[in-house]
Amino acid sequence: MTGRNAVVGMLALAVGAVLTACAPAPSPQFDLDDVATERYDRLESRVEVLLESHAAYLRSRWPDMQLPQHEVEAWLEPGQWGQVYPRCIYELTSVTDGARALDLATYSCESRFPPPSLAVNDPGPVEVAWITEYVRVGLPSCLRRSGVHAPPAPDGPFAILSGGSTPGWDPYAAAGGDIAERARLSALCPHPSSLLASIPPLPRGASGAEAP
């Protein structure tokens, strides 16, 4: 009986090991869509801060001024914004001149067409969590499936985010000077900076809208 129990126990362990090996890898906590959402939410927060500050200034200068409800009409790329924003102010001040009209037009046009300079990509908590998981799990696992072992990643994820480069860390070091192999690996298992650079700086759709 004891021997039979031992055999059953060994079989149970073996089955457990097989099931563990066949089990799917745990899903990452965040993906690039989550990173993009966080970036755009932070961008909208910067717009709110800008407009609140501007509104406070206008109320202090013109206490009876009625400010319009602000709603983003379009997220414009820098080239578009440089044309649309001045035209917006011109159209709103073409009938009524003076400092008051200019102040109100500036606020209105800022709310309709926020400055694209607000779209700075400083990493938020979701982005830091994504890149940490990707460089420690996602990218090494991908490379291993291609028969390549990546060197250990830097201790801090910000080393990877800084300037889109990764000083002192080359996940494709095993390719050496083989340009074709390096290109193959980077295409199969992209560098985190390449994936982050693929996120449009402004929300999709509205940023490419035709300039009014």
Please tell me the predicted confidence (pLDDT) of residue 69: 84
What is the C-alpha to C-alpha distance for residues 168 and 176, in angstroms, rounded to an integer?
A: 15
Show Cβ contacts of residue 39 under 8 Å, excluding neighbours closer than 6 positions.
119, 121, 124, 127, 199
* Whole-structure pTM value: 0.76
| Neighbouring C-beta atoms of residue 198, cutoff 10 Å | 10
- DSSP-assigned letters across all residues of 11-79: HHHHHHHHHHHHSPPPPPS--HHHHHHHHHHHHHHHHHHHHHHHHHHHHHH-TT--PPPP-------HH
Please tell me the predicted confidence (pLDDT) of residue 144: 94
Please tell me the predicted confidence (pLDDT) of residue 7: 33
Per-residue pLDDT reduced to its tens digit, 120-162 = 878 889 988 898 888 889 999 999 998 999 888 877 656 666 5
Computed over every residue of the chain, the mean pLDDT equals 81
Mapped to the 3 state alphabet, what secondary structure does 141-173 carry? Answer: HHHHHCCCCCCCCCCCCHHHHHHHCCCCCCCCH
Contact 107, 55 (CB under 8 A): yes
